[in-house]
Chains A and B, each alone.
Chain A
Amino acid sequence: MAVTTPEHGLPGHLVDFVGALRRHGVAVGPGETVDAAEVVGALDLLRRRELREGLASALLRRSGQREVFDTLFDLYFPPALGVGAQDVEVPRTETDDGSEGPVDVDALRDLLADLLLAGDEEALRELARAAVDALGTAGASGTGVQGVNGRPSWSAYQALRLMSPETLLARILDGMRQDGDPTDDFTDEVRRREIRDRIARFRKMVQDEVRRRTAEQRGRDQVAKTAVPKQAEQVEFLSAYAEQLAQLRRTVHPLARRLASRLAVRRKHAKRGTLDMRRTLRRSMSTGGVPMKPAYKTRRPGRPELVILCDVSGSVAGFSHFTLLLVQALREQFSKVRVFAFVEKTDEVTHLFEPGAELSGVMQRVLREADLTAFDGHSDYGHALGSFGEFWGEAITSKTSLLILGDARTNYRDPNLAVLRRLAGQARHAHWLNPEPERQWGTGDSAAHRYADVLPMHECRTAGQLADVVEALLPV
């Protein structure tokens, strides 16, 4: 195993680490790097957890960046080299001559079950380390197939497949029941969720360990490039997978709240208006002619109206879900928001977004209860726009802002530009948010460029972009 010493010692290493953070979208300025160096100087380097927290406090500026930071920290400041100190031994079968045989997987699973039950984080981490060392080389268990350079290549899949921690859940719960614990449904359910959570964390430990071992072998830059998770705000709506979706949902909620409160502040400010000279002078009479309290002209507060037209077809499912979450927050903030969903036809779904309604099922309700399809369930922008103009055309007035969400993929049907042009003309503002990358607009069946001629279209692929767009365009 090669341990390379960086060219400029610890400061050089720190700069490398900062560089890696920057490559993963964490904006770290030189000032922060200097802070980080001061942190390194002030702390005891042998206490790794303190160093981790200290560097995080100097380098990070937002909570969403923590996962990227932790992964990179483990790569750049690994807890151990090679196998590391072993507190937990992997059980092996005895061979005749007394030497160590292959791993006794059943005994290992017993050990794992015990540790999962006890919930001892440190011991689990040790076991993950030992297990990866023994089982994690791709190929036959324990022996290790030689990789390209004659060295084993590490695989989390291999280790986890042999141990299959998920299958231990039922066994652990059974064991608990036999211990004579009270077993009502509630206690059972809490336990089940707790153990499941621990298993998930153990999986993650194994993956971290594999990443560390791989980094030792192939160089950490290589691993950093591919194996570091994205920040939730940078995950693309259309390609997010289940775990990221859950994470995104958690980011969008505070985002919506933030936007709403920001909008509220701006509306309040607008009420201040310009100075009313006459009333200010009249008021100053009571203080001997000194204008102590200025009076402002009261301006009639505008009542912003928002009409949202949202493509909910399968191809943009991830995207529409999050925009709908956002719509919900805006609905709570503004008096007049109307929401329409469409696939082939358009239907009003405002009533499903009652303030305070449970959001997780709202998408299913939209698809189930609204009348959206006519023939094959593929999106038909032309017809949808047509039916909107026909039935709800009066919803768009000179005070309305129109927001259309969709990928503008018409399945080669008529895009119906005339209706859209009329709607955009009636509205005070009209904007289109498109979850596809800009370079794909106009390819295949996308009518994005043709629609973009009628009204401004914004690329809106990630939660970050969504925030930027909405903040910039919402009329206040």
Chain B
Amino acid sequence: MKATQSPLFGSVDEVTERLEGVGYLASTAVATTVYLADRLGKPLLVEGPAGVGKTELAKAVAAATGSGLVRLQCYEGIDEARALYEWNHAKQLLRITAGQGHESWDATRDDVFSEEFLLPRPLLTAIRRDDPTVLLIDEMDKADVEVEGLLLEVLSDYQVSIPEMGTVTATRKPFALLTSNSTRELSEALKRRCLFLHLDFPDPDLERRIVLTRVPELPQALADALVRTVRVLRAMELRKVPSVAETIDWGRTLLALGLDTLDDDAVRQTLGVVLKHQSDQVKASAELRLN
């Protein structure tokens, strides 16, 4: 590992500024942890409800620092061959057949397990890149427990051991970001290697600014009313609480319908945009006295 790698950010304020430059408004918590993850060279584990901008954060960091984004989307049943690397069996077979008769077995064997026959998958790709890289491991909780074991080596030492070839070590540490919806508890070993950020719904001021950045045509007063209503909705016991993405959608909807105040008629018409379950809509209408 090269200790001389220069950090991406100079200070917490710089993180905030540069993320804002690419359209991501970061709270103090986000800016501080991104700064620390970069400074301490540790992966950042981001946990939180759906739709608060976990994946967006990785994209924003990549854009703000001019790094390439390598993404590993986890799913149930993802394995080594999809995450790390795979040998190109078909090509290896061709190579063996081609060499038959005029080449010793030893030479063939050594050649068959070389770079040429290696299919790099996201993790290996990220390790081998020379340019600045953001490695996004998305929805870690969807992957099986065994995959976490694979990640330990990559995330703590930034290296990948390939038995047939040796160890590939990163020339430049990627900025690693893991996201999780916490559908299952990640293993302690993995968590210990990461900095932890619980990304929750933003405070009203920040959310208003986010909505206004995304929907600039929205009048200030309407954005204000929108954010306040969404906060009230979040405080209720609902099956699926509205996230930031839904607030933005709501803003767009109101704009498209040409509504300029958020009164009970407007809410009644558009409640389906923020609340995706029938039972939630019924409950919210009753509690907010819309009927």
Contacts and interface: CB of A to CB of B under 8 A. Distances in A.
Interface of A: 29, 31-32, 35, 38-39, 42-44, 47, 49-50, 53-54, 56-58, 60-63, 66, 119, 182, 184-190, 193-194, 197, 246, 249, 254, 257-258, 261-262, 265, 268-269, 288, 290, 292, 356-358, 360
A63 B47 contact: yes
B183 A54 contact: no
Nearest to A197: B235
B147 to A, nearest CB: 12
Contacts of A56: 29, 196
B89 A292 contact: yes
A38 B40 contact: yes
B196 A60 contact: yes
Nearest to A254: B182
Contact of A42 (B40, B198, B231): B40
B198 A184 contact: no
Interface stretch (B106-114, B163-171, B250-258, B281-289): B281-289
Interface residues of B, number: 50
B145 to A, nearest CB: 9
B47 A182 contact: no
B232 A190 contact: yes
A44 B39 CA distance: 13
Contact of B289 (A62, A185, A290, A292): A185
Contact of A57 (B48, B89, B197): B197
A58 B40 CA distance: 11
Given A193-B232, A358-B283, A265 B144 contact: yes
B32 A186 contact: no
Interface of B: 11-12, 28-29, 31-33, 35-36, 39-40, 42, 44, 47-48, 76-77, 89, 93, 144, 182-185, 188, 191-192, 195-198, 200, 204, 228-229, 231-232, 235, 237, 261, 263-264, 267, 277, 279, 283, 287-290
Given A57-B32, A190-B232, A258 B182 contact: yes
Contacts of A356: 277, 279
Contact of A268 (B39, B40, B76, B192): B76
Interface centre among A187, A257, A292 (most CB of B within 10 A): A187
B182 A360 contact: no
A258 B184 contact: yes
Given A54-B32, A185-B264, A185-B288, 7 more contacts: A50-B12, A63-B48, A194-B231, A257-B183, A262-B184, A268-B77, A356-B279
A265 B40 contact: no
Mostly, the A contact residues are helix
Nearest to A360: B237
Contacts of B36: 39, 42-43, 54, 57-58
B238 to A, nearest CB: 10
A43 B32 contact: yes
Interface centre among A38, A61, A194, A358 (most CB of B within 10 A): A61
Contacts of B39: 42
Contacts of B198: 60, 63, 66
Given A53-B32, A190-B228, A184 B183 contact: no
B287 A189 contact: yes
18 contacts: A35-B42, A42-B35, A42-B40, A57-B32, A57-B36, A57-B196, A60-B196, A61-B196, A63-B200, A184-B263, A185-B289, A185-B290, A189-B288, A190-B288, A197-B231, A258-B183, A265-B144, A360-B237
**Which 6 A/B pairs are nearest by Cβ-Cβ distance?**
A186-B264, A185-B289, A53-B32, A53-B29, A63-B198, A57-B195
Nearest to B192: A31
Contact of B33 (A54, A62, A254, A258): A54
Contacts of B32: 43, 49-50, 53-54, 57
Contacts of A288: 93
B184 A50 contact: no
Contacts of B192: 29, 31-32, 61
A39 B40 CA distance: 8
A186 B235 contact: no
User: Interface centre among B42, B204, B232, by most A CB within 10 Å?
Assistant: B232
Contacts of B277: 356
A188 B289 CA distance: 9
Contacts of B47: 63
Contacts of A292: 89
Contacts of A360: 237
A471 to B, nearest CB: 10
A38 B31 CA distance: 17
A120 to B, nearest CB: 10
